[in-house]
Amino acid sequence: MATQTQSQFNQALKKYYSVYTGGFILFVIILAIGEQLGMSNRAIGLSFLFATIGLYALIGVMSRTADVSEYYVAGRRVPAFFNGMATGADWMSAASFIAMAGGLYVGGFNGLAFIMGWTGGYVLVALFLAPYLRKFGQFTIPDFLSARYGGNIVRSVGVFAAILCSFTYVVAQVMGVGIITSRFTGLEFGVGVFVGLGGILVCSMLGGMRAVTWTQVAQYIILILAYLIPVVWLSVKVTHFPIPQLSYGYALQKVTEREKAINADPKEQEVRAVYKQRADAADAKVKALEKDGDAYLASERAVVEKKLADLKAANAPEKDVAAAQKALDTFPKDVGNAGVAWRTDTRNNLAKAAPVKAHGEAFPGKDEHAQDVSRWNFLALIFCLMVGTAALPHILMRYYTTPSVREARQSVGWSLFFIFLLYFTAPALAVLVKYDVYHFLVGSAFSELPAWVARWREVDTALISIVDLNMDGIVQLAEISMHGDMIVLATPEIAGLPYVISGLVAAGGLAAALSTADGLLLTIANALSHDVYYKMLDPKATTLRRLTVARALLVVVAICAAWVASQKPADILFLVSAAFSLAAAGFFPALTLGIFWKRATKWGAILGMIAGVGVTFYYMAVTQPWLRSIFGVTTPISDNMWLNIEPISAGVFGVPIGFAVIIIVSLLTKAPDIKVQEFIEHVRYPHLKGDIDTRAA
């Protein structure tokens, strides 16, 4: 391919991917016909799983390479348009694909922080980073820090921060792969994880960035088709118009009317009263526990034990005995755990006892103070997600792969455009599903629940549960508990589409998780193989040796990630959001000041990065329940909060402190020498006559 010009290469790419898209659609149609002829759901699920993973592996094998520049930056020939698609797939993870629309369904307006935060960050990438990093033209983000500030200390800090935020993120993706494969094919979680991982490794190990890039383009096409088809269908069903992003205003109005009607419905109030009673009961237990401690806990335990014994003695139905056994098994071990569990119980029941919040209402809260807290947290979260987006190494790395600065600039535009296609659809999806639930599920008879409810109830009661609390035989909204994660996966069934579309959506979710995992694994392995091994330990290593080390590390990192994922760490979602705050505080100030402020010095950058990450981490450690328990923090959370900001947005403190420390320390230390000045000028101008050259060989 070396003899091809760039424009011939572009033409060839367009042809390949058009044929590929057509082929994939044909494959879906064949499966749809198969379904009509009686193909089972499990067979359809497995066909999607093996066909798509096999396809990704095939692209990986075809893109294998023994060239360092191909391995690390895809030969810097990826056109803006295709790099945009690859970045889109790299960026949109299982969280974007599956959880985001669910978050909007459950959280209404507050969920929009993710929509804005995860798109607006690209403006920062475009204006402050992408073109300059492309001009610099090496392989990794620590490469840039080291070249700009000099020395291996700043490189090491960069490597540490890159691994810290990428690893938590990749674990979440691997878990996503396991959940999707197990749900749609019936394979076990662990098996699902390893099938997915096998696909990732075949792909990235042989071809590095080159293989990952071309696979990500393929994955983007699948994931966007899978996301849009069911929503368009649902939109036609609800609003008789096929462009959901324009037409869901109608549905939103109807939802708002229904919310009012539901809040006024006496039957709903009955159900909410049941929850209020439960909340009061749980609260009474908390109060008694505070008063009597261990003695009360023991007496409560005795009650649970007695109930189990009574049921067994009375030969009660097996279901009731099992429930009582479960209640005993999950009974809190000590006073501390009991307090946490029962307070959560109180809070959850109180939440269900409250009237429905209006979907579009901004910053809901009971009084002005609560509304202000909600508003500032909303804005702080947007800030952290945006700055974090502009600091995640696996995204920034993608802009090293375009042929020129010019294309790097355009490529950010295409990236956001392709991401935007999914993100501006998600709010429409949430409202359309809400419309369907509020109009067709609420008010239906328990004896005639829609088919999708029955099916999903069987899959997992944690996803959706409906219990007739006031025993009137009619579904009230307050009787439905729906987990956000099922919204996207269940949309095809809600819209009344055949199972083959459900399989397609699962394949889309899988593509989203795999593509992000690919990019992240490569980032981590490259930080270790390129920055640590080649740049710091053995700068004389041969090409063959460098690539062998890179491939070996990739496998090791992948296995570590799979192992951690198979432990199913509970607070992984928090860790993923935390990764944004940490990346924001760690990288953004040092990268941007490095380009825009010639006076920024080595020690300014080192201390600024450490201070930014340190403050962010400290704030999380004293305010986030899980981290508090690890570090044994016992002071009340409310005393540790600054300005009532939630721990997820800790970067809102870390980023300004990172900037401040870099500026102050830089002014106190000696100005960088002439070489650094030249370096900065080099990065700022796409082309200068008689310029230095920083490109990596």
Asked whether 501 and 521 are in contact (CB, 8 A), the reply is no
Binder of another protein out of 343, 406, 439, 455 (CB under 8 A): 406
Under rule CB under 8 A, residue 361 binds another protein:
yes
**Residue appearing with tokens 């990236």:** 415
Within 8 A by CB and 6+ apart from 191, the residues are 181, 182
Closer residue to another protein (CB): 107 or 569: 107
Q: Which 170-209 positions form the footprint of another protein (CB under 8 A)?
A: none
Under rule CB under 8 A, residue 253 binds another protein:
yes
**Candidate segments 115-123, 283-291, 510-518, 522-530, binder of another protein by CB under 8 A:** 115-123
Torsion of the alpha carbons at 170, 175, 180 and 181, rounded to the nearest 10: 100
Under rule CB under 8 A, residue 684 binds another protein:
yes
Residues forming a β-bridge with 474 = 445
Binder of another protein out of 82, 122, 169, 233 (CB under 8 A): 122
DSSP state of 151: S
3-state secondary structure 536-562: HHCCCCCHHHHHHHHHHHHHHHHHHHH
Closer residue to another protein (CB): 122 or 619: 122
Q: How far is the CB of 380 from another protein (least distance, A)?
A: 10
Under rule CB under 8 A, residue 119 binds another protein:
yes
DSSP string covering 63-96: T----HHHHHHGGG---HHHHHHHHHHHH--HII
> In this structure, how many other beta carbons lie within 10 angstroms of the beta carbon of residue 318?
9
CA 34-38-43 angle, 5° bins = 70
Distances from the Cα of 23 to the Cα of 29, 167, 572, 578, 630, angstroms: 10, 35, 37, 40, 51
Under rule CB under 8 A, residue 663 binds another protein:
no
Q: How far is the CB of 401 from another protein (least distance, A)?
A: 16
Asked whether 666 and 599 are in contact (CB, 8 A), the reply is yes
Under rule CB under 8 A, residue 441 binds another protein:
no
Closer residue to another protein (CB): 226 or 390: 390
Binder of another protein out of 375, 568, 675, 695 (CB under 8 A): 375
Q: How far is the CB of 125 from another protein (least distance, A)?
A: 8
Under rule CB under 8 A, residue 427 binds another protein:
yes
Q: How far is the CB of 627 from another protein (least distance, A)?
A: 28
Q: How far is the CB of 410 from another protein (least distance, A)?
A: 5
Closer residue to another protein (CB): 11 or 543: 11
Asked whether 430 and 487 are in contact (CB, 8 A), the reply is yes
Is the backbone of residue 315 left (phi > 0), alpha (psi -120 to 50) or beta? left
The sign of the CA dihedral 6, 10, 15, 17 is positive
Under rule CB under 8 A, residue 391 binds another protein:
no
Residues forming a β-bridge with 61 = none
Closer residue to another protein (CB): 284 or 692: 692
Q: Where are the extended beta strands (E) located within 105-154?
A: none
Binder of another protein out of 189, 331, 420, 618 (CB under 8 A): 420
- Rounded to 5 degrees, φ, ψ at 466 are -130, 120
CA 640, CA 638: separation in Å to the nearest integer?
5
> In this structure, how many other beta carbons lie within 10 angstroms of the beta carbon of residue 192?
24
Under rule CB under 8 A, residue 424 binds another protein:
yes
Amino acid at 517: A
Under rule CB under 8 A, residue 120 binds another protein:
yes
Closer residue to another protein (CB): 101 or 211: 101
Under rule CB under 8 A, residue 132 binds another protein:
no
Q: How far is the CB of 528 from another protein (least distance, A)?
A: 32
Closer residue to another protein (CB): 156 or 404: 404
Binder of another protein out of 30, 281, 362, 454 (CB under 8 A): 362
Under rule CB under 8 A, residue 409 binds another protein:
yes
Binder of another protein out of 91, 109, 435, 619 (CB under 8 A): 109
Binder of another protein out of 332, 443, 498, 686 (CB under 8 A): 686
Under rule CB under 8 A, residue 370 binds another protein:
no
Closer residue to another protein (CB): 194 or 227: 227
CA 537-538-543 angle, 5° bins = 135
CA 228, CA 234: separation in Å to the nearest integer?
10
CA 204-205-209 angle, 5° bins = 45
Binder of another protein out of 41, 65, 156, 245 (CB under 8 A): 245
Under rule CB under 8 A, residue 115 binds another protein:
yes
Residues forming a β-bridge with 413 = none
**Candidate segments 22-30, 314-322, 408-416, 529-537, binder of another protein by CB under 8 A:** 408-416
Closer residue to another protein (CB): 351 or 362: 362
**Candidate segments 52-60, 210-218, 246-254, 433-441, binder of another protein by CB under 8 A:** 246-254
Asked whether 532 and 404 are in contact (CB, 8 A), the reply is no
Q: How far is the CB of 675 from another protein (least distance, A)?
A: 11
Asked whether 400 and 134 are in contact (CB, 8 A), the reply is yes
Number of residues near another protein (by CB under 8 A): 55
Within 8 A by CB and 6+ apart from 353, the residues are 272, 273, 275, 276, 279
**Residue appearing with tokens 């501006």:** 424
Is the backbone of residue 541 left (phi > 0), alpha (psi -120 to 50) or beta? beta
C-alpha gyration radius of the chain: 27
Closer residue to another protein (CB): 65 or 256: 256
User: Between 308 and 347, how does the x/- string for binding to another protein read (CB under 8 A)?
Assistant: ----------------------------------------
Under rule CB under 8 A, residue 23 binds another protein:
no
Under rule CB under 8 A, residue 291 binds another protein:
no
Under rule CB under 8 A, residue 691 binds another protein:
yes
Under rule CB under 8 A, residue 656 binds another protein:
no
**Candidate segments 46-54, 60-68, 294-302, 359-367, binder of another protein by CB under 8 A:** 359-367
Within 8 A by CB and 6+ apart from 364, the residues are 108, 109, 110, 357, 358, 371, 374
Given the rule CB under 8 A, which residues bind another protein?
Answer: 109, 112, 115-116, 119-120, 122-124, 126-128, 131, 245-246, 248-253, 360-363, 371, 375, 378-379, 382, 386, 404-406, 409-410, 412-413, 416-417, 420, 423-424, 427-428, 678, 681, 684-688, 690-692
